[in-house]
Every structure is written in structure tokens, then in C-alpha cells.
Amino acid sequence: MPNAQYEQMHLFLFVAPVGYQTAAWRHTESRVEDLYSFDLQADIARRAEAAKLHALFLADWLSFEDTGKNPDLTGYEPFTTLGALAAVTENIGLVATASTTFNEPFNLARYFSQLDFLSKGRVGWNIVTSTTGEENFTIDLPPREERYARAVEYMDVVTGLWDAWEDDAVIADRERGVWARRDKIHTLNHKGEHYRVEGPLFVPRSPQAWPVLVQAGASSSGMDFAAKFAEAVFTVKPTLESAREFYSGLATRTLEGGRAKPPIILPGLMPIVGDTEAQALEIHDSLSDLIDRETGIRRLAKHLHNADLADLDLDDRVPAERLIAPDQAEAQGAPSRYRFFHDLAVSGVTVRNLIRESSKADGHGVFTGTPVQIADHMETWFHGGTADGFAILPPTVPAGLQRFLDDVVPILQERGSFRTDYIPGTFRDNLGLERPKSPHQP
């Protein structure tokens, strides 16, 4: 039976301009020399739009990784990048990551409102509270629970600002000289524990009213936040069992919280496509071999909550005493995918293979195979109450990305599991989401 929530899957593309695999920039066909040229960014966007994908997803990092051996997965500042991409695309959604901890809510509300106008209603906001970056800002990073408490108030502020103008406030009456009715523009006058914002915004309600709200936290606090606010959730669930548990758990939290519909749940997936299964595995292994030990150890240590791995050889196993229990790690603010890597390590997986796992997709699901095998895999998850679609992590760009778009997407379309065109309207319309109603109007 098809997934009960949607008849067709949603597909977002994670924007990794040289590929999501850690050392993808070393691939002979990468365009690493063009990393910060707009030509490369526009090319990726146009390829994804031609395949009718729902959205581009831009991550963001606020801390510098210090080995200097690998370019960041994007390194792009999201707001300026989305503004530029809005001008060279027509239909695809544009999702930017922005932190509630390091952005003032009034500024963020302005940025997204303006981008929604510029894109004709195609923007989304990936809401993060941040786990790093305080070294670059004038505030200390609060503990997780406090970050999420602040984020709840933050959402009250930004949504209040987006709702300040009633939909029919602008009348553009040239004869009377009245552009907008002041009685339909409302101040916010928010005075809370963390924020004081009077409002209103300087522009009318945007085409979507609010950007599509996306979230990626997998901790208990993150899931509670997603259940309250998120309309789409990007998650790290590499196994069918863990994905099904997350899907069911988040849906339950959402409905118990009084919302009528759970968010769209999108596990990350890196598809490595080959003409044969053997060729796909060969591509997989060749990419893993591009990862140098220093970078691999550093990334693995990060996933293992800064465990001491420096003295270990690649064929060693991680001593159990260097790892803390997942529940304890979560309480200390460990990355949401700590449990996955902890369980691999205690099962006896070698450092070499742990590095391969952490570097190829940051703990996301990786599937190698022919186009038909990958399409089968995606449909198994989609029709099994496990996912509403996927956030696609291209192993390499442009080669790995184009193989997926050219060879896998058409199979999904032929089977009716993925759409063949956009529908007229906004990003919300294309996701099957309602436009938020103004609280100031019946």
C-alpha cells in the first residue's frame, strides 16, 4: 500500500557543489576550481529543476574546520545564494539554513519575507539552534534545553511579524492616494523572556505568508520542536528500522500536540549509481579511498563526541572505555547521530570502516546499485511508512548527481512514485501544504 500521507514522494537536493562525500572534490570530474562561482551553483539548480525536484536545500556552518584539506560542503552564505538562485530558476523550492541563536528575529523575518517576494513564493527556512559557532559571535552558546526554549519564543516573534499585515492591507488606491490601510497593519509588541520586538515588518505578507518551515533535529528536544513547528523534517536515519521508528514517533508527537498533519519526513540518502551493482560498489570504494587518515580521524572523532582516537591505527577497534553511553552523550549535547556511530564502534567495526561510514555520508543512508535497484530501495521506504521522500546527497557533482537525475528519477516517474512536472503556484502548493491564515482575519 502507498504511504498514507502522500501518493508521490518528495525529493529535495542537498546542495553540495563538489559532492557530499568528504573527499569528492578530489574526483577527476569535480568542478572544485569553480567552487564559489555562481555558474556552478546555477548549474546545479538548473539540473535539479529540470528533473522536477521539489527543492534545493542549503546547509550552513558557523565554525571553521581547521585541517584545510577539504572544502566545506557548501561554504555558501544562504541568503545571498538563494536570492541569486531565485533569479535563474522558476519553480524549484529554495531552502536556507539559519540559526535562531545567532540571528535577530526581526532581521531573519525580513530576509525570508523579501526572498519570498523575489522568488514568487518559493523559499523555505531550515530552522537550527546551532551546536557550534559561538567563537564567532558575541554570545555564549546556551545549553540545548535553553536553546530550544529560546527558539520557541523566537518562532512566536517571526511568525507574528510575518502575520502583521492582513492579506488585504494593500489597496493601491491611486485616486485617494492610499497605498495600504493602516488599520490592517498590526504592531507585534512582543515582550518576552528573551526578545523584545515591536514590529511590524515594512512589507506586506509575502506570497506564502511564511516560508516553508523545515527542521533537522533528532534529539528529544529537537523532535518536540519539530512536532510543534516543522512542515518538513530532514533526518539522519540510515536503516529502515531506525527510520520507521522516527517516522512513527514524530507523527505521534505531532498529532498529540494538536496538529492535523505530521510534517513531511525526508531521510538523507546518498545514491551511488552504476550500470551494474559491481560498478556501483567500485565507485563507492574509489571515493572512500580518496579520504586521508587525518581528515577521517577528525570527522570520526566529531561523530563520536570528541572521543580520543589520535593514537589508533586504521585496523584498530575503538576501545569501549573511550565512548560514553548514548543517553549520557545526548545530555551533554552530542551530535544527533552519535548513537549510530557508537553502536557501530561497540560492535567491533574498525576505525578504517568507521571513517568510511562517517566520511561518505555523515551517517546518512548510502545505497549502491543500478538505477532500478536504487528506485526499488526508495520505493520500499516510501511505501513502507518510513519516509515521505528523501533529501538526496549526491556523492559527486556533476557526475554522481547527473546519474541519479538521468537514470533513477525517470524510473520513479514511470512507476508513478514521483511527479513529472511542477504544479502552478508556490513552494507550499507543490508540497501540498496550506498557506498560513492570518490571525487578524476571520
Mean pLDDT of 353-372: 81
> For the ranges 305-319, 330-344, 369-383, which has the lowest average pLDDT?
330-344
Asked whether residue 109 carries a pLDDT value surpassing 50, the answer given is: yes
Asked whether residue 184 carries a pLDDT value surpassing 60, the answer given is: yes
E strands of 297-441, at which residues? 365-369, 389-392
Mean pLDDT of 229-254: 91
Among 228, 226, 223, which Cα is nearest to 214's? 226
Asked whether residue 265 carries a pLDDT value surpassing 60, the answer given is: yes
* pLDDT given for residue 113 in this prediction: 98
Mean pLDDT of 380-393: 94
User: Please, which pLDDT band fits residue 65 given cuts at 50, 70 and 90?
Assistant: low
Contacts with 223 (C-beta within 8 Å, 6 or more apart), sequence order = 217, 249, 250, 253
* pLDDT given for residue 212 in this prediction: 98
Q: Are 412 and 9 in contact (CB under 8 A)?
A: yes
- Regarding pTM above 0.85, the answer is yes
Q: Are 32 and 73 in contact (CB under 8 A)?
A: no
Question: What phi and psi values does residue 289 have, to the nearest 5 degrees?
Answer: -70, -10
> For the ranges 78-87, 165-174, 353-362, which has the lowest average pLDDT?
353-362
DSSP percent split of the chain into helix, strand, coil, nearest 5: 40, 15, 45
* pLDDT given for residue 379 in this prediction: 97
Asked whether residue 126 carries a pLDDT value surpassing 90, the answer given is: yes
Asked whether residue 69 carries a pLDDT value surpassing 70, the answer given is: no
> For the ranges 225-239, 354-368, 405-419, which has the lowest average pLDDT?
354-368
* pLDDT given for residue 3 in this prediction: 47
Question: What phi and psi values does residue 213 have, to the nearest 5 degrees?
Answer: -95, 115
Per cent of the chain over pLDDT 90 is: 65
Beta bridge partners of 368: 272
Asked whether residue 66 carries a pLDDT value surpassing 60, the answer given is: no
User: Please, which pLDDT band fits residue 2 given cuts at 50, 70 and 90?
Assistant: very low
* pLDDT given for residue 74 in this prediction: 61
Express each pLDDT in 270-323 by its tens digit: 999 999 999 999 998 888 778 778 878 888 888 888 889 989 988 899 998 999
User: Please, which pLDDT band fits residue 85 given cuts at 50, 70 and 90?
Assistant: very high
Alpha helices in 71-216 (DSSP H): 78-88, 105-118, 144-162
Strands 389-392, 264-273: pairing is parallel
> For the ranges 52-66, 80-94, 106-120, which has the lowest average pLDDT?
52-66
Residue with grid cell 520507521, as numbered in its chain: 244
- For 219-236, b/e burial (b = at least 16 CB within 10 A) is bebbbbbbbbbbbbbbbb
User: Please, which pLDDT band fits residue 75 given cuts at 50, 70 and 90?
Assistant: confident
> For the ranges 13-27, 243-257, 353-367, which has the lowest average pLDDT?
353-367
